[in-house]
Structures are given as C-alpha cells and as structure tokens.
C-alpha cells in the first residue's frame, strides 16, 4: 500500500527478543512479510516503560523503507526523556478470522502480527519530518498527500515524530483450519473458520464541504487488503 520502493526482500536475524518461542512454525523473519503486514494495518500499539510502569498506546504510523515512523504526540508520556531515545516494543496485529474448533480449548484466531524492538529516536530534521508526515498520510490513504494542504513550518515544528529502525523485528502468522484433538474429529460439531475483514463503508462528506466536490476515486475504491 505504500508508494515507496520496497528494499529487496531480506531475512532478518532473530535475536533473543524477536525469536518466536511459542509455536515457532508460525514465525517469519522476512522483511517482505513484515513490511506487508505493517503496510496493511493502520494502527500500531507502542509499548514503553516509564517509572517501571509499562504503557501501551495505540497510534498511527508510516513506513519508509526500513524505518517506521510513529506519531509521537499521543505518547507524550514517553517523550520526556526522549533526547537520548527510548526503548520501545511496537506491535501491529491484523485479525483475519475466527477459528472455531470442536473443543473450546482449540478455539483460536487467524492473524498476522509484527513485533518490533528497538530504540525510537526523535526526528529533528525538518525534511525527514515532512517525509514522515507524508508516510503517515499515504499509509492511511494512498494518493491523499498530493491533494491536501501540506504541512507548514509551524505544523512540522508542532508534530513529534519518532523513528524506529526495522532491523529487530519478527512476524507471526496463523492461517487455515482449526486443529482438533484426533478423537474430536468424530464429534458432530460444526468446525471451520469465519473470515473477518476490515471493510470500508460509504464515505461521509464533511458537513462543511464546499458543494460540488466529488468523493475522490481513491476514497471510493479504498481497500486495505494487500494483494501481494
């Protein structure tokens, strides 16, 4: 969904933090998989520790190549000591379906998630900040940036942007049918998957929209599902 060129697919080296221990067959360390999930999802959950207390804040983000830009302002709590950077864990989850097994115990969900560890640092450079805001906008709605009023100096100064390298990351993906205990397959209980998808409704024009402005095609045809 991004308008940026993807770097060539690459296998990230699992670290102690990113190595998936539980159901390791679901693990994936390919940047192609990781970037596709990041590009399709719309919200990330940023985790950080302040005064020994964990915080998890949902926020918008954008990806440019192997960098994740996070909107800093919603997480103002974490920004106090930010000049030296802050340790974060950023998690993005796409829910793809409900997995209905024959036993309560084996109920599950189909999902694709990415967990990123690293030090997020404040973006000070105005040009990079502008690029990050472009990534935010294009991430939410491709083709939007070129059409809207772009950030002025004051807005750029007033926006906190954090940059996180996408070097220590892993994806985890579950797909397909429920897995039941062998003896349970004889039970006369319906089992299968109910797929779930984020679907756009009909665009609602702003009350103060100037008359005669049509809904853009990129809004009408919006779809967040990556085909790749």
Q: Which of residues 123-152 bind its own copies (CB under 8 A)?
A: 133-134, 136-137, 140-141, 144-145, 147-151
CB-CB neighbours of 120 under 10 Å = 26
**Which residue is associated with the tokens 């340790």?**
87
CB nearer to its own copies: give 8 or 190.
190
CA distance 184 to 188: 9
CB of 219 to its own copies, least distance (A): 6
CB of 9 to its own copies, least distance (A): 24
**Bridge partner list, 49:** 54
Binding status of residue 22 toward its own copies by CB under 8 A: yes
CB nearer to its own copies: give 8 or 52.
52
According to DSSP, the β-strands at 44-50 and 67-71 are unpaired
CB of 117 to its own copies, least distance (A): 7
Binding status of residue 90 toward its own copies by CB under 8 A: yes
Binding mask 173-212 for its own copies (x = CB under 8 A): ----xx-----xxxxxxxxxxxxxxxxxxxxxxxxxxx--
Among 7, 15, 24, 43, binds its own copies (CB under 8 A): 43
Shortest CA distance to 14 belongs to which of 32, 34, 30, 29?
29
Within 8 A by CB and 6+ apart from 136, the residues are: 60, 61, 62, 69, 71
């Amino acid at each position: 969904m991004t308008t940026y060129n993807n770097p060539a697919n690459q296998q990230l080296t699992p670290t102690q933090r990113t190595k998936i221990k539980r159901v390791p067959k679901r693990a994936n360390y390919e940047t192609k998989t990781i970037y596709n999930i990041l590009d399709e999802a719309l919200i990330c959950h940023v985790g950080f520790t302040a005064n020994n207390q964990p915080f998890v804040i949902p926020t918008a983000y954008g990806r440019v190549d192997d960098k994740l830009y996070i909107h800093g302002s919603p997480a103002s709590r974490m920004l106090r000591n930010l000049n030296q950077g802050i340790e974060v864990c950023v998690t993005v989850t796409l829910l793809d379906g409900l997995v209905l097994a024959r036993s309560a115990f084996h109920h599950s969900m189909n999902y694709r998630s990415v967990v990123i560890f690293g030090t997020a640092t404040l973006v000070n450079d105005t040009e990079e900040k502008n690029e990050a805001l472009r990534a935010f906008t294009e991430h939410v709605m491709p083709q939007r940036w070129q059409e809207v009023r772009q950030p002025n100096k004051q807005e750029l100064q007033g926006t906190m942007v954090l940059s996180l390298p996408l070097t220590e990351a892993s994806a985890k993906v579950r797909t397909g049918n429920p897995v039941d205990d062998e003896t349970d397959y004889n039970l006369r209980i319906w089992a299968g998957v109910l797929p779930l998808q984020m679907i756009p409704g009909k665009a609602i024009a702003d009350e103060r929209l100037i008359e005669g402005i049509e809904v853009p095609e990129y809004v009408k045809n919006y779809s967040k599902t990556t085909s790749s």
